[in-house]
Homo-oligomer: A and B are copies of this chain.
Amino acid sequence: MFPKNAWYVACTPDEIDDKPLGRTVCNEKIVFYRAGDGQVAAVEDFCPHRGAPLSLGRVCEGQLVCGYHGLVMGCDGKTVSMPGQRVGGFPKIRAYPVVERYGFVWVWTGDAALADPAKIHHLEWADNPDWAYGGGLYHLRCDYRLMVDNLMDLTHETYVHAGSIGQKEIDQVPVTTKTEGERVVTSRFMDKVMAPPFWRANLRGNHLPDDQPVDRWQVCHFVPPSHVMIEVGVALAGKGGYHADAKDKVSSIVVDFLTPETETSMWYFWGMARNFNPKDRNLTAQIRDGQAKVFAEDTAILEAQQRNLSQYPDRRLLMLNIDAGGVQARKIIDRLVAAERAPA
């Protein structure tokens, strides 16, 4: 259950630096590669000659060459040439709209006529020297919506991430959920708490004391089709919290691009964008390593949850106040899917 008329993050540019990349997105088997003009390209991962995956081939002078018999495929899905063959009558394979932006490769898996790059969610922190970004990629065997639920309700941090970002107070402070058009925002503000280990490290990373009470916040933004951006941070207590002056806080944006692979598996592009010490590459690496550990804790839970749900498909789950963010986000997803399927 995912909208196909949408921009999804397919990969990062380094994944196609040296060779084509085969990846399934929204049930579509696609090969991504860097074409002649430096532009990214994406076509079906299926050679029209004998069905070999084009991703096993190579890029020669900007053109994708099948690794089996040398068929040369164009970015538009039309065969360009093949040794000793006239290719005019070869069947076209599907080409996918694809855009490189903000350090990611975005693919549109639905009707190409509707693919407008302007619809790609704006990322204020990308391509901005005041910010630094680090992240990674996990493959999970679960419906991507379980991850939407997970990220729109950070109550789980107390339990799943007890040793890093969890703390008892998350549990105790209620969340507020608002839906604004196609976006959902879930907010939690915890005043005068002690920072957990992850944030103590970041306070030190920004030359602030780590042994004093802080005001902590989490503001989760769901953006269709399945992106979740979470503003997180701590400020020295009483300095204005979320609105505190930059010198009194450390804050960042947890970046989550959730890309469906199939109905029950997903690609999880995770990372963190921060606007303190953006030049400090060691800090970037250190944060990424910390996040990698934290998010690995989620994968075990979510894959086990998926196995349970697959085994008991008829069970109704609870939808509590803490689940409101996920519930609202799923309603938006449902609406988008229904609109796509409606007769024109």
Given the complex, which residues of B lie within 8 Å of A49, measured CB to CB?
317-318, 320
Complex interface: stretch among A5-13, A251-259, A298-306: A298-306
Contact between B159 and A53, CB atoms less than 8 A apart: no
Given the complex, which residues of B lie within 8 Å of A171, measured CB to CB?
70, 83-84
Interface centre among A50, A155, A174 (most CB of B within 10 A): A50
Q: Is A172 an interface residue (CB 8 A)?
A: yes
**A50-B317, A51-B312 are contacts. A84–B305 as well, Cβ < 8 Å?**
no
User: From residue A252, how far is it (CB to closest CB) to chain B in Å?
Assistant: 24
Q: Mark A315-335, 1 if CB is under 8 A from B, else 0.
A: 111101111000000000000
Q: How far is the CA of A156 from the CA of B49 in the complex (A)?
A: 12
Q: Is A29 an interface residue (CB 8 A)?
A: yes
Contact between B85 and A320, CB atoms less than 8 A apart: yes
**Contacting residues of chain A (142-158) with chain B, CB-CB under 8 angstroms:** 149, 153, 155-156, 158
Q: Is A223 an interface residue (CB 8 A)?
A: no
- A310 nearest CB neighbor, chain B only: B51
Q: Is A160 an interface residue (CB 8 A)?
A: yes
* Seed contacts A46-B312, A51-B317; 17 additional CB < 8 Å A-B pairs: A29-B311, A50-B149, A53-B305, A65-B159, A66-B159, A68-B159, A68-B160, A68-B301, A70-B155, A70-B159, A83-B158, A83-B171, A84-B174, A84-B321, A85-B320, A85-B321, A91-B316
Interface residues, chain A, CB within 8 Å of chain B?
29, 45-46, 48-53, 56-57, 65-70, 82-85, 90-91, 149, 153, 155-156, 158-160, 171-172, 174, 300-301, 304-305, 307-309, 311-312, 315-318, 320-323
Identify 24 residue pairs between A and B in the complex whose beta-carbon atoms are under 8 Å apart, listed by A's number: A29-B311, A46-B315, A48-B318, A49-B317, A50-B149, A50-B305, A51-B315, A52-B305, A53-B305, A53-B307, A56-B301, A56-B304, A67-B301, A68-B156, A68-B301, A68-B305, A69-B156, A70-B171, A83-B155, A84-B174, A84-B321, A85-B320, A91-B316, A91-B318
